[in-house]
Amino acid sequence: MFAIVDIETTGGRPQDGGITEIAVIIHDGAQVVETYETLINPRQNIPSYITGLTGIDNEMVKQAPLFEEIAPELNRLLSNRIFVAHNVNFDHSFLKQNFEELGFPFSPKKLCTVKWARKVIPGLKSYSLGRLCSDLNIEIENRHRAMGDAMATAKLLKMLFEQDQTGHWQQMSKANTGVYLPPLIDQEKIQSLPEATGIYFFHDERGKIIYVGKAKSIRSRVRSHFTGKDGQKKQDLRRKIANISVEITGSELLASLHEAAQIKKHFPEFNKAQKFPDPKFGIYKWIDQLGFERLSLSKVAKNMKPIASFTSLTEMRSIVGKASLELQLCPRLCGMEVKEGLCSLHQGNCPKLCTNNEHTIDHNQRLNSFIANKFYTNENEVFIDKGRTDNESSFVLFLNGLYAGFGYFESQQFGTDLSLFQHHLLPQKEDTEIKRILKFYRQIWPEKKRFLLT
């Protein structure tokens, strides 16, 4: 018996995407036996380009069931059946991720109608579902919706059965869990790992940390190290793992920060070197004899702290040049070279140096506003996120605009008093990788979880 599956999602990767719709067709190879379809609330925003493709928008899934609500029924439909889909690994990977986060094991036999069609009907220009159905005169109703595409796949399945004279499908659907546990670790150890957000450590027989990773769901992520094709490095890692330890963070942000710090601390053998180049160029501020605050764009100097630093000279000049145009700052005072006739502030007639003292205060205010808004704040600020338990919250603290560390506190204690967070703070050092992580999260962190402290 076959379970033909099609899903619609918010994106292309199960690690950061969600399922918005699913259809399952139970098929005996000759006819449809049972059907099931539902929208699913993905717990995240549906991008506009996905809505344009599928027609599924945020309002449609608002009242739809969550995956955990339909998981038991899906498990019944898919259990002990060959999992069939067009490009089967895509649909399988999303369902596997969601099932295993809930503790459901999910390792069905798989049959890909793309690969099967290539075997049975070779020589076509394209094996996408749309082109394949067009070439084979299979009608697709409601394209890019789960049931429409699943029904088209069911028709394709029946046609391939009729033309598969050598039984390709039997060889292609042989069971293979692809799970190869380390020889020094047993299944019970893996199963005892938490399905929680945090970081995990692989240790060798001496207890030395040989790999550090982060995960939204630790057990599922650890298991993924022991599946799939084996390269030499993966074999070497698996052979050396003698123990696994974990630290639950509750917060994905804290997991990212903690992972980076632990890699820097232990330099594990099997972690890729974090090759984020040190910044070579910096923006410095100084005051000239006329009282103008000026910028200097140069190489990073020892014992001098720049306002901001960059790995690219071009990026640095681009940011400052754009600001000088938008805020009507003198390019020369911003450290920029000005060619004859190109100064927007002086309508193309740029003097060698601005000398109008009446505009000193106005210029300095605009320059400092640009620096504060673009590069840093001098304020004390905290990011609040989930903790390790329901009664706990986590935080990331910035003192005078600089990263100070993270910690945990009881959710009921929350306030905007700086002393609360200083009391629970686990001080951390900032480096290039930490800056990169914080820059990314600062761009996406919701305002309702960012607070200024008093």
Residue type, 207: G
pLDDT at 276: 56
Q: Would you give the distance in Å from CA 323 to the centre of its chain?
A: 30
CA–CA dist 266, 255 (Å, integer): 16
**pLDDT computed for residue 390 by the predictor:** 92
- Residue 308: which residues within 8 A CB-CB, separation 6 or more? 282, 283, 316, 374, 375, 376
Give the C-alpha separation, 135 to 356, whole Å.
75
Residue with tokens 């505009």: 359
The answer to whether 76 and 82 are in contact (CB under 8 A) is no
Structure tokens at 352: 């060698």
Q: Among 428, 431, 450, which residue's Cα sits nearest to residue 381?
A: 450
Q: How far apart are the first and last CA of the chain?
A: 65
pLDDT at 273: 61
> Is 39 in contact with 20 (CB distance < 8 Å)?
yes
Q: Give the 3-state secondary structure of residue 447.
A: helix
- Residue 407 tokens, joined: 């910690």
C-alpha distances (whole Å) from 243 to each of 66, 121, 220 are 35, 49, 16
Q: What is the pLDDT of residue 359?
A: 60
φ and ψ at 363, to 5 degrees? -65, -45
For 203-265, give the secondary structure using H, E and C. ECCCCCEEEEEEECCHHHHHHHCCECCCCHHHHHHHHHCCEEEEEECCCHHHHHHHHHHHHHH
CB neighbour list of residue 176: distance below 8 Å, 6 or more residues apart: none
- For residues 11 and 158, what is the distance between their CA atoms, to the nearest angstrom? 30
Transcribe 374-421 into DSSP letters.
HT---S-EEEEEE-SSTTEEEEEEEETTEEEEEEEEEGGG--S-HHHH
pLDDT recorded at residue 448: 83
pLDDT given for residue 404 in this prediction: 93
Each residue's pLDDT tens digit in the chain (454 positions)?
Answer: 899 999 999 987 887 789 999 999 999 888 899 999 999 999 899 998 899 989 999 999 999 999 999 999 998 999 889 999 998 888 998 999 888 888 787 888 888 888 888 888 888 888 888 888 888 888 888 888 999 999 999 999 888 888 887 777 777 766 555 566 787 777 778 889 999 999 999 998 889 999 999 998 999 889 888 876 556 787 788 888 989 999 999 999 999 999 999 998 999 999 876 555 667 888 898 888 878 888 889 888 877 878 777 778 888 888 888 888 887 777 878 888 766 555 555 555 555 555 555 566 777 888 888 877 777 666 788 999 999 999 999 999 998 878 899 999 999 888 888 998 999 999 998 877 888 888 778 777 887 888 888 7
- Tokens for 269? 């053998």
pLDDT at 231: 67
Looking at residue 306, its pLDDT comes to: 83
pLDDT score, position 178: 57
Q: What residues contact residue 199 under an 8 Å CB cut-off, 6+ apart?
A: 212, 213, 214, 215, 246, 247, 249, 255, 258, 259, 262
Q: Which two tokens stand for residue 408?
A: 């945990």
Residue 433, amino acid: E
Strand 281-287 versus strand 308-310 pairing type = antiparallel
Where is 172: in which H helix or E strand?
Answer: helix 168-172
Asked if 437 and 256 touch (Cβ cutoff 8 Å), the reply is yes
Torsion of CA 46, 50, 56, 61, to 10 degrees: -20
Distance, CA of 55 to CA of 51 (rounded, Å): 5
Q: What is the per-residue burial (b if ≥16 Cβ within 10 Å, else e) of 354-377?
A: beeeeebeebbebbeebbeeeeee
